[in-house]
A and B are shown apart, each in its own frame.
Chain A
Amino acid sequence: MKFGVVVFPGSNCDDDMIHVLGDVVGASVRKLWHKEESLGDLTTDDCIILPGGFSYGDYMRAGAIARFSPIMTAVIEHANAGGYVWGICNGFQILCEAGLLPGVLLHNDTQRFTCKNVYLKPATDKSAITAKLDQNKAYKIPIAHAEGRFHADEATINQLVANQQVLFYYCDESGQVTADTNPNGTLRNIAGICNEKRNVFGMMPHPERAAEDLLGNTDGLDLFTSLLASTEVAV
């Protein structure tokens, strides 16, 4: 699996992501400028990453303008053809605005930009980024956002839960999911979801910021190794 990391004007986690994928994980990765109209040699076996940041200054709504960048037509075609797409933080917001994931990310109920470590409980092993995770472990991964309150109508939320499309819940250090461990008012403590076809992932926390011993935390690395291990083509 190769990776393409889209750079929008205002993206700021693109270089961290490329460093982790290229230097830590050892995967083949390249940048995709938002004005490009094709994904080049990347195929549906590969993964397009929409990184964190403040694309277009979060004007109008976070992700609303980036969703109409030229590259997004190719990203949407890639997703519809079964290719992997993973949006982190602002990338998750862009995927919701683009309709590749249901729902929307509202302003945090705290009315603050929150940057801190939180704990995530995997909610399913039926997705490539959670398949190889310890389903009973609370993964320590940081969040850094002002608009992370996931919202959708009740029928959509019920469907996400029933279909095991919820990837992570915010929890405490021991894995308990409670109102106190909800950092932003998100519905049912939801931190990340996937689409029905399970090839498009969105999450607010930043695994690429917790993927190296040097940074004192490698919990995030497990998501990347899960993705690679569970999508490896058997020979």
Chain B
Amino acid sequence: MNFIAEVDIMPHQELLDPQGKTVAKNMKNLHLDGVEDVRIGKHVTLKLTAADEAEARQMVETACQKLLANVIMENFTYELKEAK
């Protein structure tokens, strides 16, 4: 079976995100004074083949835990869909 996993990786809420802070500060150059905060993470799309959904989920978990996210500084969420 073919699957697509859409993974979001975000810095932990309590950590300073200097990139997001810089972008937020510069929103005033766009005259968007209403933007109060910006936090920047990563979005990763994985295409995978697995016997079933459980195996696909396990593969995505392993990829996230070992390489895509460092859980000391980031958390991850994902959506797994069967690919047509």
Contact = CB atoms under 8 A, between A and B. Distances in A.
A106 B68 contact: no
B72 A103 contact: yes
Contacts of B49: none
Contacts, number: 33
Secondary structure class of chain A's binding surface, majority of residues? loop
Contacts of A104: 70, 72-73
Interface of B: 15-16, 18-19, 21-22, 42, 66-68, 70, 72-73
Contacts of B18: 107-111
A153 B72 CA distance: 8
B72 A152 contact: yes
Q: Which of A64, A109, A111 has the most CB of B within 10 A?
A: A111
Contacts of B67: 60, 64-65, 68
Interface of A: 60-61, 64-65, 68, 97, 103-104, 106-111, 151-153, 185
B16 A60 contact: no
A106 B19 CA distance: 11
A109 B73 CA distance: 14
Contacts of B42: 60
A157 B24 CA distance: 30
Contacts of A61: 70
Contacts of B73: 104, 106, 151
Contacts of A103: 72
B19 A107 contact: yes
Contact of B68 (A60, A108, A151): A60
5 contacts: A60-B42, A64-B70, A104-B73, A106-B15, A109-B18
Contacts of B66: 68
B16 A185 contact: yes
Contact of B70 (A65, A97, A110, A153): A97
A83 to B, nearest CB: 24
A179 to B, nearest CB: 14
